[in-house]
Amino acid sequence: MHRYILIIFIFTLDINANTLMNPTSLSKDLYQEVILDDNYIDSVDHPNEFLDFDYATRVATPEQITSALKSWANQSDRLKVIEYARSHENRPLHAVFISSPENLKNLNSIKDKISQLADARITNDRKAKTLINELPAVAWMAYSIHGNETSGADAALGVIYHLIASKDDDILELLDDMVIIVDPVMNPDGRARFAKNLEQYRGTAPNYDDQSLIHTGDWPYGRTNHYYYDLNRDWVYLTQPETQGRVSLINEWKPQILVDAHEMGAQDTFMTGPAREPINKNVDYDLIKWGNVFAKDQGNEFDRRNWRFYTGEWHEDLYPGYSFYVAFRGTLGILYEQSRMAEDGVRRPEGTIQSYKESVHHQFVSTMINLDTLKNNSKSMYEDYWDGRKYNVSSNSKYSNRSYVVLANDNNGRINALAEKLKAQDIEIYKNNKPINVSNALKQNGVTVNEYTIPTGSMIIPNNQPEAPLVSAILEFDAEIDDEVLIEEKQKRIKNGSSIMYDTTAFNFTMMFGLPAITVPQDLKDNLTNWTPSPESLEINQDAVIWAVDGKDDRSVAFAARLLEQNVQVRIIDKNSTLSGHDLSRGSVAVIAMDNPSYNNLHKTIKTVATDLDISVVSIESGFGPKELPDWGGRHFRLLKKPQIAILSHSGFSSYDVGVSWWSLDHHLGIRHSQLNSSLTGYGDLRRYNTIILPSGNPDLSDYAKNMLMDWVKQGGTLIANNRSTRTIISSDGMGSVKSLNTTFDKSKSYNIDLMREIYSLEDNIDISDANDNKVDTEITYPWETSDVTYTKEQLEMRDKWQSTLMPSGAIVSARADSENWLTFGAEDVVPVLYGNYPILMTGGNSTAALRIGELIPNKDSKTKTINWSQIPSGYDLNVRMSGLVWPEASQRIANSAYLTREKIGKGQIILFSGEPNFRGSARGTNRLWLNAVIYGSGLGTNPLVNP
Ligand SMILES: [Zn+2]
C-alpha cells in the first residue's frame, strides 16, 4: 500500500515539472551593467553568499541582509555593526559604521568632538576651528523606510560590501576621511511583508506589469511597519520603536548628510535634490545651498550614464516629521526617489523594460556620488554648521526672545509623553517653581493677552538653545508660508481642488497633544529648574471603601480598562466631586469595595494595575460628597461595562487608521480586542462584541451587513466610526440621524434653531426680569431674528460648491467641547482638532454633538452674524483656525458643524468622528475622546444588561 502511494506521488511530481514551462526571458538578463566591480579582497564574502539569487536581481529579505552583516562584522575591520532597535516583530535594526580601522577605534572621541561643535555655549571659534580640522566627514545613509520600496536596501547591501571589501585606493582614502553610517533596512517588518508577497505571487515567467499583484502586494502593503505606521512621518512624533532607536542614534552622531532612499511610481524616473517651496522657514538656508551642490554632482553622474532624473518638483519640506527633521538640527537631508520596479522590472510606455537591477544600480551610484561630494566639501559644511549653531544660541537671532510655555496641567500622562518627545530631540525643558508674570502672551487661539501669569509647574521651553530651529518648527503656532506659495495653492484649489501641499500644514505639538500653551516674546530663564515629571502617589489602603484615579489623566482610561478586563466592577464619576478631601474631576474612575464583594485581594489588583501605568491612586474612606457634590450611591457614580472590542479591518479600510486604532488599544490601554475581516460582518457572530470600531475607509459593506450592524446596535452595541467610515454611515439609510452638510440645506433654519438652543442653554447671562409677567410680551427678540441675513437653499448650495474646493489638507481648528457629555472626560473646554477634507456632520433628531467646530470668544460689541446655515450669537466671535492653512471659505463651511457626535439608537448607540482622532498616534487630544468612546461607551451610552 505504501509503495503504491509512493509511485503515484513521483508520477504526479513528474507531470507537474513538465507542465511548467521555462520562462521566455529572465529579468536578470535585462541589464548588463556591473554594480560590484570585482576588485575585492577575498576574506570578505560576496553578497551572493547570503542570497539564493544573483545580487540585485531580486529583493533580499531582512534576514538575508542581517546574516550578511553578522558575517561581515567578523570578516572585516572596516565596519562596526550596532543594533539600535528591534521592530515590533522582533527584527533587528542596524546602523553599520564604516570607516578606516583607525577611525573605528576612535568613534567615541569623534562623537565627543561633534557634540562640542554642536554647542556654541561651551565652544569658541578657535576651538571650533581645531575641531573642524580634526573631524572626519560623517554621513548617515538610510534606505527603504517604506518596506515595499525595496531597491534602496539592496543597494545598501552592495554599498556596505563595496566599502569594506574594495581594494580601490579611492575607497581606502574615502574611509580615512569619513565615518559612513549605513542604515540598510529602516523598516524590516514592512520589507518582510512585501518580500512574502513577492514570494507568494511569483510565477515562472517574469512579470513586467506594474499593476499585477507581484508589484503591488496585498493590503496592508509593505510600505508601513507592523502597526501600519508610515515611519517617514514619525521622525518627530517618535511613536514607533524603529524611529525611537534611530533618532536617538542620529541625534548622538549629528551627521553632515542624511540620505533617505525611497521609491516612487513605477512609470516615473529618479528624483533627488533640494525641496521646492514651501520649505519650512526654520531650516538654515545654507543647507539648501549645499543641497544644490550634491544634486549637481549626482545629476552630472546620471547624465554621464544616460539615466533620466529630475530635482525638486513635488518634493516640499514644510512638515518637520519626515527624515528631514535633521535639517532643523543642521544636517543636510537628501531624498532619493527611484521609480519602483519590484523585482522583475517594469515595462514602460515606450516599450522598454527597466529592470530591478537597474533601479538598485541608481541607488548605489547615487550613494557613492553623494559620499564623494561630502568628502570634497566636508570642511566647508562644518564651517556653515558651526555658524548655524552659533546663531541658534546668540542673543540677536530670531530665536533669542521667544519662549514656549505648556501651561501647568493635571494630565500627567500626556504632559510626560510630550516631555519625552522633546527630550529625545535634545530640547532643553524647564519648570517654574513660582508664578511668572509676562506681557503679550500669545494664546493658541491667536489672541494676545497683555498681562499674563504663568502658573507654577508649567513647562517652559526657551527658544534660545542649541536646537532652536527644531524647537521653533514644532512649537510655533504657525509655520510661515510665503505669499507666492499661498497664491499658487489657492489658484490650484479653485481650479481643480488640487494642492501643492504634500502633507499636513499644521503640526504644532501642544495642539496635537491638546495641551493649552502660550508663546511669550521673551527669553524666560529665571527661577527655572530642569523639567522632571510630577511624582505619582500610590495611596492604596486595604480597608478603603473607594479607590479612585483622577479622570483628568489619560491613563485613567487604561486603569479602568485593565480592571474591567480582570472582571473588577468599575464606576465613573461623571461630575467634579470631592470625597474624603480628595478633589476628583469629572471622568474619575472609582472602584468601590462593595461593588466587588467576592473579589479577593482587590486592593492588590488595583496596585498592580496602577504601578504598571505609573498613575496616582487615592483611597477614600467615605462615599459622602459635601453639599451638592456626588455621593457614592447617587446617579453620578455610573457603572461601567467590560468592553468587548472588535476593529473592522482589511480591504477598503485605510490601513493607517486601522493600524493606529490597533496600536492605540495595544499601546495606550494594553487590553484584548479582535481585528476582524470586515467581510465577517454579514455572517459572523457579532454578539461576542459590545463595541465595534470602523476605522476610516470605504469598506464594501453590503446592505445586509449594514442591517446586521444596525440590529446589533439596537440590541445594545456601541458602533464607533472615523472619517470616511463616518461618511458611509451618514450617507446610508437607516443608520441614524446625523447628516452630511450638503444634504441639509432645505432644513438649514431648523438646524440653526437647534444650534441656538445648544448655545443659549449654556448662557449664564439670561434675562429673567420678565419671568413673572402676566401679560404676553409682544416685543421678545429671538436669536435668529436679530440678524437680517439669511440664505436660501440655492445660495447655500452655491456657496458650498465653492467652499468645498478650499477644504484644509491637515490643519488644526478649534472645537468646543460639551462639558456635560461623557465623551469629553479629560478634555479642555476647547480641543484643537486636526481637520482635512472630512465629512461635515450635522446633528439632528436624537443625535448630539460632543465636539463642535469653533471656539466662542466673548466680544460684547459683537452683533448676531450669519455664516452659511448657522449664526454666531450676539456677544461672541467665533474662532475656527488655530494652525496651518485653513482658507476663510473653509472656516465658514465647517463652522458650527459637529466633529464628534453620539446618538442613542435602540438600546445601543452610534458614535461618529468626523476625522481620524488617533492621527499618527500623536493627536493625543482627540485620542482621549476616542478612548473614552471605546472604553466607556458600552457602560455609559447603552442600556445596562441585567442577567436574571
Ligand atoms: Zn517612500
Q: Would you list the DSSP string of 728-767?
A: HHHTSTTS-S-EEGGG-GGGHHHHHHHHHHHHHTT-S---
Q: Is the pLDDT of residue 95 over 90?
A: yes
- Using the mean position of ligand 1's atoms as its centre, give its distance from the Cα of residue 228 in Å: 14
DSSP letter at 665 equals I
Q: What pLDDT does residue 29 have?
A: 73
Single out the residue of 192, 190, 218 nearest to residue 649, CA to CA: 218
DSSP letter at 854 equals B
- Per the model's pLDDT, the better-predicted residue between 331 and 526 turns out to be 331
- Using the mean position of ligand 1's atoms as its centre, give its distance from the Cα of residue 147 in Å: 8
- Using the mean position of ligand 1's atoms as its centre, give its distance from the Cα of residue 113 in Å: 33
- Using the mean position of ligand 1's atoms as its centre, give its distance from the Cα of residue 257 in Å: 18
Residue 819 CA: distances (Å) to CA of 722, 830, 936: 22, 10, 16
Single out the residue of 358, 32, 62, 64 nearest to residue 208, CA to CA: 358
- Using the mean position of ligand 1's atoms as its centre, give its distance from the Cα of residue 370 in Å: 19
Confidence of residue 358 (pLDDT cuts 50, 70, 90): very high
Q: What pLDDT does residue 5 have?
A: 45
Is cis: bond before 220, omega within 30 of 0? yes
Q: What pLDDT does residue 948 have?
A: 80
- Using the mean position of ligand 1's atoms as its centre, give its distance from the Cα of residue 900 in Å: 33
DSSP letter at 274 equals P
Q: Is the pLDDT of residue 13 over 50?
A: no
Q: Is the pLDDT of residue 50 over 80?
A: yes
C-alpha cell at position 872: 454666531
Q: What pLDDT does residue 204 have?
A: 84
- Using the mean position of ligand 1's atoms as its centre, give its distance from the Cα of residue 489 in Å: 24
Instruction: Judge whether 788 and 866 are in contact, CB under 8 Å.
Output: no
Single out the residue of 445, 438, 354 nearest to residue 403, CA to CA: 438
Confidence of residue 316 (pLDDT cuts 50, 70, 90): confident
| pTM of this structure | 0.95
Residue type, 869: W
Q: Is the pLDDT of residue 20 over 70?
A: no
- Using the mean position of ligand 1's atoms as its centre, give its distance from the Cα of residue 91 in Å: 20
The pLDDT tens digits of the residues spanning 718-740 come to 999 999 999 999 999 999 999 99
The pLDDT tens digits of the residues spanning 184-209 come to 999 999 999 999 999 999 888 888 99
Give the CA angle between residues 6, 52, 267 to the nearest 5°: 115
Q: Is the pLDDT of residue 28 over 70?
A: no
Q: What pLDDT does residue 25 have?
A: 62
- Using the mean position of ligand 1's atoms as its centre, give its distance from the Cα of residue 264 in Å: 7
Q: What pLDDT does residue 770 have?
A: 83
The pLDDT tens digits of the residues spanning 880-896 come to 999 999 999 999 999 99
Least confident of 534-543, 599-608, 892-901: 534-543
- Euclidean distance between CA atoms 548 and 607, whole angstroms: 11
C-alpha cell at position 80: 562596526
Residue tagged 503591488 (cell numbers): 216
Which residues, in sequence order, are CB contacts of 638 under 8 Å at separation 6+? 571, 572, 573, 574, 939, 940
- Using the mean position of ligand 1's atoms as its centre, give its distance from the Cα of residue 371 in Å: 21
Single out the residue of 469, 68, 503, 18 nearest to residue 284, CA to CA: 469
Cα 604–chain centre separation: 36
Instruction: State whether residue 894 is helix, strand or coil.
Output: helix
Average pLDDT over residues 31-35: 93
- Using the mean position of ligand 1's atoms as its centre, give its distance from the Cα of residue 267 in Å: 15
- Using the mean position of ligand 1's atoms as its centre, give its distance from the Cα of residue 263 in Å: 5
- Using the mean position of ligand 1's atoms as its centre, give its distance from the Cα of residue 727 in Å: 29
With residue 368 as reference, give the H or E element that holds it.
helix 356-393
Q: What pLDDT does residue 765 have?
A: 79
Cα 342–chain centre separation: 27
- Using the mean position of ligand 1's atoms as its centre, give its distance from the Cα of residue 89 in Å: 21
- Using the mean position of ligand 1's atoms as its centre, give its distance from the Cα of residue 260 in Å: 9
Instruction: Indicate the average pLDDT of the chain.
Output: 93
Average pLDDT over residues 552-567: 98
Q: Are strands 876-879 and 855-858 parallel, antiparallel or unpaired?
A: antiparallel
| Residues in the chain, overall count | 948
Q: Is the pLDDT of residue 15 over 60?
A: no
Instruction: State whether residue 334 is helix, strand or coil.
Output: strand
Confidence of residue 361 (pLDDT cuts 50, 70, 90): very high
Instruction: Judge whether 461 and 403 are in contact, CB under 8 Å.
Output: yes
Average pLDDT over residues 157-169: 98
Residue tagged 551642490 (cell numbers): 293
The pLDDT tens digits of the residues spanning 386-435 come to 999 999 999 999 999 999 999 999 999 999 999 999 999 999 999 999 99
Q: What pLDDT does residue 7 have?
A: 45
Confidence of residue 781 (pLDDT cuts 50, 70, 90): confident
- Using the mean position of ligand 1's atoms as its centre, give its distance from the Cα of residue 230 in Å: 9
C-alpha cell at position 383: 564651517
Q: What pLDDT does residue 9 have?
A: 45
- Using the mean position of ligand 1's atoms as its centre, give its distance from the Cα of residue 265 in Å: 10
Average pLDDT over residues 672-697: 94
The pLDDT tens digits of the residues spanning 758-777 come to 998 888 878 888 888 899 98
Confidence of residue 252 (pLDDT cuts 50, 70, 90): very high
The pLDDT tens digits of the residues spanning 435-468 come to 999 999 999 999 999 999 999 999 999 999 999 9
Q: Is the pLDDT of residue 8 over 50?
A: no
Instruction: Judge whether 295 and 272 are in contact, CB under 8 Å.
Output: yes
Instruction: Judge whether 603 and 651 are in contact, CB under 8 Å.
Output: no
Q: What pLDDT does residue 203 have?
A: 86
Q: Is the pLDDT of residue 828 over 60?
A: yes
Ion ligand 1 residues within 5 Å by Cβ: 146, 149, 262
- Euclidean distance between CA atoms 813 and 746, whole angstroms: 27
- Euclidean distance between CA atoms 453 and 717, whole angstroms: 47
C-alpha cell at position 870: 448657522
Q: What pLDDT does residue 14 have?
A: 47
- Euclidean distance between CA atoms 24 and 883, whole angstroms: 57
From its phi and psi, is residue 675 left (phi > 0), alpha (psi between -120 and 50) or beta? beta
Q: Is the pLDDT of residue 616 over 50?
A: yes
- Euclidean distance between CA atoms 715 and 709, whole angstroms: 10
- Using the mean position of ligand 1's atoms as its centre, give its distance from the Cα of residue 284 in Å: 24
- Using the mean position of ligand 1's atoms as its centre, give its distance from the Cα of residue 660 in Å: 19
Which residues are bridge partners to 830 per DSSP? Answer: 816
